[in-house]
Amino acid sequence: MFAQQLKKYNQVAEKIWPKNAVTGIPVVLEDTESKKMWKINPDGQISDFSEKEAKELNVERSEAPGTWGYYGKQFDKFGVDAQYSLEGKTLEGGGMYFSLDSAALKNKEMWNRYPHLGSYDALVFVLHENFHIFEQTKWNKLSETEIAKIGSEKDQHLGQTEARIIRYQLIQKLMKAVTHPKDKTLVLQAIATYNEYKTKHKTDFDNAHYWDRTEGSAQYMEIMTALYAYFPDQLSTDKDITHAIQTLGKQTKGYGNSTGNVEESYDIGAFAGLLLDNYDSSWKMKLMKDKNTTPMSLLADYFQNEKLPAYTPLNEEDKNKLLEKITDKKKELVTYHKQSLEEMKKELQSATDPKQKEALEMEIKALEAKIAALEK
């Protein structure tokens, strides 16, 4: 199944994204139970992959299902650094590695992240990361220093409840507009909500910009890949794809439920991109050429001369439900961060390298500050 999906994806890759850099990449899959490996070529051909080949090509194997990385004689462990950078290397002669097991294949609750997928979504996960690493690095972008700083400060900003509420509204309005693509008034309502957010919540808007741009476009790519590659029999024409996209706007599981500055970026960018496909065929080229754009900003720009409706605040009942959800999300994050904090402290105790100790101390301090802010 994975092989046929990979083959189909490579056939439509440039239709999904112009001049797509995420093509022609073979994938080595390993069953962590049997330790058997297979090489899946971009044309869908499958061949056994031996331990000898794995050693020769620096495949860093894992016993944990869901582990991914790059392999090739040019790489050390996983071929990437902490910022997912290939450090100028190419994948020539190498490819990607992904591990899984039978339990993972059957565990839809854990592994099947998206409601439009009917099977384990290893392919879109692999392609999502490839999109960041190979495609987005070609674009007009911030400096590596700026990107690293944004990554280190990555935060859901759950304390900014009014911003969370209006971003939630934006997602809901975008989804409704996707469901009814011929109703331009729904698009204008979404843009009015976006403009209200941009004006009234400038700090949160600035914090979200990088993620709306990068994760939003990667999420768009995932959705389109799944629609084209996962259902070749059911979705065989452009008309079929268009109809399937409209049904995504009606989904109540998997979409529209994100809470947090970064989490929301996936849906906002993806659904804005799906709408842009109806109006501006050049939006992807514009996004790539200008680091100051996001799919949502390009949608707003396209309709900049249209008269927008007034922004309508969220009703009290839905607002209270969302505030409860934000509170629950805070508790989840506190628990998760505290677990991570304990692991970091243990790692610090055993660390001997001065630079490693210094880095861990800084990470611990930053994490303690995040926990304190969430517990307020």
List pLDDT tens digits, range 267-318.
Answer: 999 999 999 999 999 999 999 999 999 999 999 999 999 999 999 999 999 9
| Ordered per-residue pLDDT tens for the chain, 376 residues | 788 889 999 999 999 999 998 888 899 999 999 999 999 999 999 999 999 999 999 888 888 887 888 888 877 666 555 445 566 667 778 888 888 888 776 766 655 555 555 445 677 877 888 899 889 989 999 998 899 889 888 889 999 999 999 999 999 999 999 999 999 999 999 999 999 999 999 999 999 999 999 999 999 999 999 888 888 788 888 899 899 899 887 776 666 678 899 999 999 999 999 999 999 999 999 999 999 999 999 999 999 999 999 999 999 999 999 999 999 999 998 999 999 999 999 999 998 988 889 989 988 998 998 899 888 8
Residues whose CB falls within 8 Å of the CB of residue 98, separated by 6 or more in sequence, listed in order? 27, 28, 29, 30, 67, 68, 122, 125, 126
The answer to whether 230 and 280 have CB atoms below 8 angstroms apart is no
The amino acid occupying position 104 is: A
Q: Indicate the length of the chain as a whole number.
A: 376
- Residue 97: which H helix or E strand, with range? strand 95-100
- In terms of pTM, does the model score above 0.75? yes
How far is the C-alpha of 289 from the C-alpha of 44, rounded, in Å? 33
CA neighbor of 2 nearest in space, from 230, 223, 236, 222: 230
36-88 pLDDT, tens digit per residue, is 999 999 999 999 999 999 999 988 888 888 788 888 887 766 655 544 556 66
How far is the C-alpha of 27 from the C-alpha of 328, rounded, in Å? 38
How far is the C-alpha of 187 from the C-alpha of 176, rounded, in Å? 9
| Segments making up each domain of the chain, as ranges | 1-138, 152-314, 318-375
CA neighbor of 53 nearest in space, from 33, 73, 34: 73
The answer to whether 11 and 80 have CB atoms below 8 angstroms apart is no
Beta bridge partners of 96: 27, 70
The amino acid occupying position 57 is: L
- Residue 46: which H helix or E strand, with range? strand 46-48
DSSP string computed for 173-237 = HHHHHHHSTT-HHHHHHHHHHHHHHHHH-HHHHHHHHHHHHHHHHHHHHHHHHHHHHS-TTT--S
